[in-house]
A and B are shown apart, each in its own frame.
Chain A
Amino acid sequence: ETGVTQSPTHLIKTRGQQVTLRCSSQSGHNTVSWYQQALGQGPQFIFQYYREEENGRGNFPPRFSGLQFPNYSSELNVNALELDDSALYLCASSLGGSSGGPREQYFGPGTRLTVT
């Protein structure tokens, strides 16, 4: 059983640029959630994908967008980067949807994004 993987590990971008972060879910999981974690804060929910559709969204602007692919992997795209977007971006996978049951989410190692 493979765990959650994310790429890249680190990324440095300039304000105004666009970035794409990638996540592969844990084997057997069909739901991917993305979180932003600023220094000294808990993770903040960005959005969740289930069956290739956005299944819920936190308080983030539309320049944060995503995709989920048939193999349940996912991308997070951020346009028009701002300095405040500098953070650790975490992907979490879970077994979700109508299956019921627990909603444990397992995190990948994260992508550290620095916007200068």
Chain B
Amino acid sequence: QKEVEQNSGPLSVPEGAIASLNCTYSDRVSQSFFWYRQYSGKSPELIMSIYSNGDKEDGRFTAQLNKASQYVSLLIRDSQPSDSATYLCAVNIDSGYSTLTFGKGTMLLVSP
């Protein structure tokens, strides 16, 4: 059973702080990892992808991957109220076809 686990939250941070979102996955064969942001009532929006161990930075977002620990995280620096959303971790296993297994998501609340 391939599983992706996330803390459901809510994670509350003040404006300007660093928000740290975590995700663990069970399948060691997992190859690609994605973070999606989903505002209430909207569809998921891809914000970060990471494929190899280490850090990947894109603007205020940093994704971190540790395959040995089966752990992926997303850091949001200088959090803004507009970052308040549910963040979905998704794991891809390319086994002839490519599908995503999602966690349930972590709700982030950034207070002004």
A residues in contact (CB < 8 Å) with B = 31, 33, 35, 40-45, 48, 50, 55-56, 58, 88, 90, 92, 94, 96, 102-110
Contacts and interface: CB of A to CB of B under 8 A. Distances in A.
Interface of B: 4, 32, 34, 36, 42-46, 49, 51, 88, 90, 92, 94, 96-105
B87 to A, nearest CB: 11
B43 A56 contact: no
Contacts of A106: 46
A109 B42 contact: yes
A42 B105 contact: yes
A88 B86 CA distance: 15
B99 A33 contact: yes
24 contacts: A31-B98, A33-B99, A40-B104, A42-B103, A43-B100, A43-B102, A45-B101, A48-B98, A55-B96, A55-B97, A88-B43, A90-B43, A96-B97, A96-B98, A102-B32, A103-B94, A103-B98, A104-B34, A105-B34, A107-B36, A107-B44, A108-B43, A109-B42, A110-B43
A105 B45 CA distance: 9
Contact of A105 (B46, B51, B103): B46
Nearest to B96: A56
Given A96-B98, A105-B98, 15 more contacts: A35-B100, A41-B104, A43-B44, A55-B96, A56-B96, A56-B97, A56-B99, A58-B99, A94-B98, A103-B32, A103-B94, A104-B34, A105-B100, A107-B36, A110-B42
